Amino acid sequence: MRGAVAFVVLGLLGGCERAAAPRLSGTSATTDAGAPAAASSAHASASASAPSPSASGATPAKWSLPQVPLAKEPTPGPLRVDGYPVKLSAGMSDPASHFGFTRDGSKLVYCAFDVCCASDVSQCIATDAAGRVTTLETPTAHAFKSGAEKAASEPRTKAQLLAFAREERLVEIGPAREMWRTPPPPTGTFAFGGEMTLVVREIAPTEPKRPDGEDGVPGSVKIGARLEGEREVFVVFPKAPFCTKNPGVCYEAQLNGLSLSPDGSELGFVVYIRNPSHGSTFATTRIPVATFAARVFNDTGMRHHEAKEYPRAAELFTRAVYAAPSEERFAYNLACALARQGDARAEHALRHAVALGRDAVRSRARKDGDFAGVRAEPWFEAALR
């Protein structure tokens, strides 16, 4: 499977593939998002009779692979999180005081007021599903902008920003107490909440060795989930470009906010990075719930596949395919796990992967050791045509 770090595929490792996850919409005053190392991907193909999934992905209720049925439907439940909320450090750097999706779900927003101890510098930053960023900010902050950055920002008074946060029903974090602020627990029904617990972990920064601090690694956060009876996997790694360029001034990172969109279809994350000498830095990520769940099923399945526990791997890869049927890597991994068991249904999974990934999947499958046991079968080459 393919290995991926920061959206870049490193190369073939043999067997099914770990692949770079597609880029997520991520933003902030200084941010971007993606899923490095832990984001495995799968590839498989459906039978020719299976309906073609939409580009945006379908849900199990709207899509099926008849030859490989889904054994268990997703189980909705409360949004459970291990590692959030936590106390957020406040003082020289301050976390966002408001966060969440707008009422119509179109934008993920966070607001920071009186930035870096300045009562006249406040802003709300909104990211849409395509990753486009709009900044609403007080005139003092707006005056420092120029060019495209200024064109993407709109001046507002502090009172207008507070009214905006109230009108959009953003989550509000209470006032600081003894240099700490704590966000409330997330709410809402998570489509996979009956079987999946989200997990949030902080990644400590490394001390720079050079005096200019450029060889240090900034603090960050990783977000994933744990299935019942399984170990957690991490599939989302928000990044702040400012910290990538200036690692020596970015310190500990914490998850400032975690939200479900109003219709429950997306997860939104706001990460707060302490930056005492330059004010606070933030990174945001929004990801479809189905995509998040598919990555969790897939990466958990990868562990079983690598341990040669192919029946369990196939079960989890099937869950990934049904959650995100338009991503060929999940179907490809399903074909791999079925082929390892000599299961003829691998043909249908492989056909689906070929329909989505075309020549790249054909070339990979012909070399992949997971298909060694079925390569001589008449259906194998036929599935690759």
Residue 334 within a domain: no
Residue type, 71: A
Q: Distance of alpha carbon 319 from its chain centroid, rounded?
A: 17
Q: What is the pLDDT along the chain (385 residues), one digit of tens a residue?
A: 332 222 222 122 235 655 344 333 333 322 223 333 333 333 322 222 233 333 333 344 457 888 999 988 999 999 999 999 999 988 777 899 999 999 999 999 999 987 655 567 899 999 999 999 999 999 887 777 777 777 888 999 999 999 999 999 999 997 767 688 899 999 999 999 999 999 999 988 776 555 655 566 778 899 999 999 999 999 999 988 888 887 777 888 999 999 999 999 999 999 999 876 667 889 999 999 999 999 999 999 999 999 999 999 999 999 999 999 999 999 999 999 999 999 999 999 999 999 999 999 999 999 999 999 999 999 999 999 9
Residue 232 within a domain: yes
The answer to whether residues 56 and 66 touch, using CB atoms and an 8 Å cutoff, is no
**Residue 299: C-alpha distances to residues 99, 120, 195, 212 (Å):** 29, 46, 15, 38
* Token representation of residue 212: 């200019």
d(CA 202, CA 222): 6
Those residues whose C-beta lies under 8 Å from the C-beta of residue 49, and which sit 6 or more positions away, are 66
* Beta strand 133-137 pairing with 153-155: parallel
Count the alpha carbons within 13 Å of 197 in the hemisphere toward its beta carbon.
13
What pLDDT is stored for residue 213 in this prediction?
A: 53
Residue 1 within a domain: no
pTM: 0.83
Give the number of other CB atoms < 10 A from CB of residue 185: 12
Residue-wise burial string across 315-353, b where 16 or more C-beta atoms lie within 10 A, e elsewhere: bbbbbbbbbbbbbbbbbbbbbbbbbbeebebbbbbbbbb
Residue 164 within a domain: yes
* Token representation of residue 228: 């019942």
Radius of gyration of the chain (CA): 22
Residue 16 within a domain: no
Number of domains comprising the chain: 1
Range of the domain at 99: 78-290
